[in-house]
């Protein structure tokens, strides 16, 4: 059985989906296993895809932390890391606070000191002859045992936290985490003790605020941590985005968290985002990438948090960047000679992907991802005209307007495309393109076509090995006088005017327009 699973794996007996991924060779000795398995807790395939993307991001972050080697944390960072522990302990015992017996607040000051052991030695060996002990050696022994138990508890739970995040710390930092964990448990236990005496949390909070107010200073109680991952999960549950979008957003926020040193949205400021932007610019990131692929996702998630009363304001609202395209940098379509080079090479290819995908793109302007997920049942006749249909049943589409029927250009039919399709069984036209982690064949198709086109000598960075056909089709539409609204209907672009939304685009009308484009001479 293959251990690396690119998609959610459905358990054959329970029907519940799982994440399964092969552990990298360099981490096997550290993790002690060959495969990582995690239940996604759902039988719904769409929900499983979203949860799989989230879980995969967390797993990759954990592995990245482990591969980065031992790191050092300051005391401040240790306390920030364990901040959620306070609420965890409080929630675990809030209903019956007096039942909490694991932690003795009176012993806290004795942790990681020699005082308890010293008192026991004093009690047993150095008490003056004839002097009576008020508690007896048993009390001192009990205290030593309790200290040892509480220290072990902190050590165990801190190790669990670090393993969950995949953090590999040096010994000193591990000890800082243990002590910070103990401090959080101590604060929560003191609150539980007050609750056990009948004080209610509202009174405790009011009493503290009154004391702070008497000193004429602002309250310094920090808001509970609001994790980036929590916000993304909430946003995804409501908006139902594509799994790839969830995956990419998680990666963006993971990068932001690494830069910040924390993942708490409550602590994020506009100043932090400006500094992050500057860091990305200094690292050579393109301004457009920063604007559209980094800042835009952050702004969207934080705005969702504001709209849902999770945050008071969106610190990313006015953080932007000038992403003007300089002369010579804008993407362009293939010119006549470049188109000729590609299609001539495609004719000689026996690989169906390299043979047919460029040809279909050249005469339709369709997205490569749309072409790669075509099925035999998507090649149909409409009013006697052979067409290919792009529908969500074959795979996800970019927009609502992407669902469409496009007539096949005569050059495609003359090249033998219908014969190729008829020889295939029902299913994908390009089964050799295995779906990527998001279930899309276009992901691997982009890599195959990209390497192949670059190998033909077309290395201009302004060219996209797949998307430049889309640019070229627009150019051909203008050159040969195709109706603009029908060009948009063929390529799946959104109509430019409200009027264009009315009516239909019959196959014969689209065919009339598409045949205005002459075949590309390849000889």
pLDDT along the chain (523 residues), means of 10: 60 86 76 80 83 77 61 80 84 84 88 61 46 51 80 88 72 88 92 85 48 34 67 87 84 88 88 90 85 93 90 89 68 90 93 94 91 92 92 64 85 95 92 77 86 90 86 93 89 72 82 94 82
In a shared domain, residues 352 and 493: yes
pLDDT for the residue 209: 43
SS3 (DSSP) at 496: coil
Distance, CA of 433 to CA of 423 (rounded, Å) = 18
pLDDT for the residue 419: 95
In a shared domain, residues 340 and 318: no
Last residue of a domain, one of 214, 246, 264: 214
pLDDT for the residue 97: 87
pLDDT for the residue 502: 65
pLDDT for the residue 139: 60
Taking the model in full, what pTM does it have?
0.51
- Burial group, residue 87, by CB count within 10 angstroms (0-12, 13-18, 19+): middle
In a shared domain, residues 317 and 344: no
pLDDT for the residue 210: 42
Q: Quote the distance between the C-alpha of residue 371 and its chain's center.
A: 26
In a shared domain, residues 297 and 148: no
In a shared domain, residues 391 and 285: no
In a shared domain, residues 356 and 227: no
In a shared domain, residues 152 and 265: no
How is residue 106 written in tokens? 């009176």
37 in any annotated domain: no
Q: Residue 237: give its domain's CATH number.
A: 1.10.150.130
Helix (H) or strand (E) holding 148: helix 137-165
69 in any annotated domain: no
SS3 (DSSP) at 522: coil
CA-to-CA dists, residue 419 to 80, 178, 376, 413, angstroms: 64, 69, 11, 9
pLDDT for the residue 442: 81
Cβ contact 231:265 at 8 Å:
yes
The length of the chain in residues reads 523
Which residue from 110, 80, 90 is spatially nearest to 185, judged by alpha carbons?
A: 90
How big, in percent rounded to 5, are the helix, strand and coil portions of the chain? 55, 5, 35
495 in any annotated domain: yes
CA-to-CA dists, residue 252 to 233, 246, 343, 392, 396, angstroms: 14, 10, 38, 27, 22
What burial letters (b/e) apply to 239-264, b meaning 16+ CB within 10 Å? Answer: eebbbbbbbbbbbbbbebbeebebbb
How is residue 117 written in tokens? 């052991």
DSSP-H helix ranges across 295-415: 296-307, 336-347, 352-362, 368-372, 410-414
Q: Residue 477: give its domain's CATH number.
A: 1.10.443.10
How is residue 111 written in tokens? 């942790």
6 in any annotated domain: no
Neighbours of 102 (CB within 10 A): 13
In a shared domain, residues 240 and 280: yes
In a shared domain, residues 315 and 420: no
Cβ contact 224:188 at 8 Å:
no
Last residue of a domain, one of 214, 241, 259: 214
Cβ contact 81:257 at 8 Å:
no
Distance, CA of 113 to CA of 118 (rounded, Å) = 9
How many domains does one find in the chain? 3
In a shared domain, residues 349 and 314: no
How is residue 330 written in tokens? 């804008």
- The residue segments making up the domain with residue 263 are 222-324
66 in any annotated domain: no
Last residue of a domain, one of 261, 290, 324: 324
103 in any annotated domain: yes
50 in any annotated domain: no
In a shared domain, residues 268 and 180: no
In a shared domain, residues 208 and 259: no
34 in any annotated domain: no
């Amino acid at each position: 059985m293959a251990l690396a699973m690119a998609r959610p794996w459905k358990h054959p007996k329970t029907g519940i989906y799982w994440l399964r991924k092969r552990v990298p060779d360099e981490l096997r000795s550290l993790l002690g296993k060959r495969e990582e398995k995690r239940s996604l807790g759902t039988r719904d395939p769409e929900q499983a895809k979203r949860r799989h993307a989230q879980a995969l991001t967390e797993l990759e972050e954990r592995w990245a932390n482990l591969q980065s080697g031992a790191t050092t944390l300051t005391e401040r960072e240790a306390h920030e890391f364990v901040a959620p522990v306070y609420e965890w302990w409080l929630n675990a015992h809030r209903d019956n606070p007096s039942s909490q017996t694991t932690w003795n607040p009176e012993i806290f000051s004795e942790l990681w000191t020699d005082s308890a052991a010293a008192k026991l030695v004093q009690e047993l060996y150095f008490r003056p002859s004839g002097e009576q002990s008020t508690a007896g050696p048993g009390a001192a022994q009990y205290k030593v045992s309790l200290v040892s138990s509480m220290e072990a508890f902190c050590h165990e739970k801190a190790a669990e936290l670090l393993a969950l995040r995949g953090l590999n710390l040096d010994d000193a930092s591990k000890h800082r985490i243990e002590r910070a964990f103990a401090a959080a448990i101590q604060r929560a236990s003191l609150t539980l003790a007050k609750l056990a005496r009948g004080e209610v949390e509202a009174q405790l909070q009011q009493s503290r605020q009154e004391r702070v107010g008497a000193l004429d200073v602002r309250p310094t109680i920090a808001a509970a941590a609001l994790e980036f991952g929590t916000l993304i999960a909430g946003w995804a549950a409501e908006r139902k985005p594509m799994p790839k979008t969830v995956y990419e957003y998680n990666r963006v926020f993971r990068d932001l968290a690494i830069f910040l040193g924390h993942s708490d949205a409550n602590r994020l400021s506009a100043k932090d985002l400006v500094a992050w932007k500057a860091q990305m610019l200094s690292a050579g990131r393109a301004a457009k990438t920063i604007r559209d692929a980094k800042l835009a996702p952050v702004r969207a998630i934080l705005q969702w948090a504001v709209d849902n009363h999770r945050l008071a304001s969106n610190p990313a609202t006015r953080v932007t960047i000038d992403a003007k395209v300089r002369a010579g940098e804008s993407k362009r379509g293939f010119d006549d000679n470049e188109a000729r080079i590609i299609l001539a090479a495609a004719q000689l290819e026996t690989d169906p992907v390299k043979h047919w995908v460029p040809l279909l793109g050249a005469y339709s302007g369709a997205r490569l991802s749309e072409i790669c997920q075509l099925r035999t049942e998507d090649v149909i006749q409409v009013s006697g005209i052979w067409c290919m249909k792009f529908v969500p049943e074959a795979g996800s589409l970019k927009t609502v307007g992407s669902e469409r029927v496009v007539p096949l250009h005569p050059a495609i039919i003359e090249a033998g495309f219908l014969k190729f399709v008829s020889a295939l069984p029902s299913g994908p036209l390009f089964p050799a393109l295995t779906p990527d982690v998001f279930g899309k064949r276009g992901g691997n198709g982009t890599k195959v076509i990209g390497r192949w086109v670059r190998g033909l000598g077309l290395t201009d960075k302004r060219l996209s090995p797949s998307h430049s056909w889309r640019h070229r089709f627009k150019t051909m539409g203008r050159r040969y006088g195709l109706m603009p609204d029908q060009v948009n209907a063929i390529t799946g672009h959104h109509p430019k005017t409200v009027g264009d939304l009315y009516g239909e685009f019959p196959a014969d009308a689209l065919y009339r327009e598409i045949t205005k484009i002459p075949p590309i001479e390849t000889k």
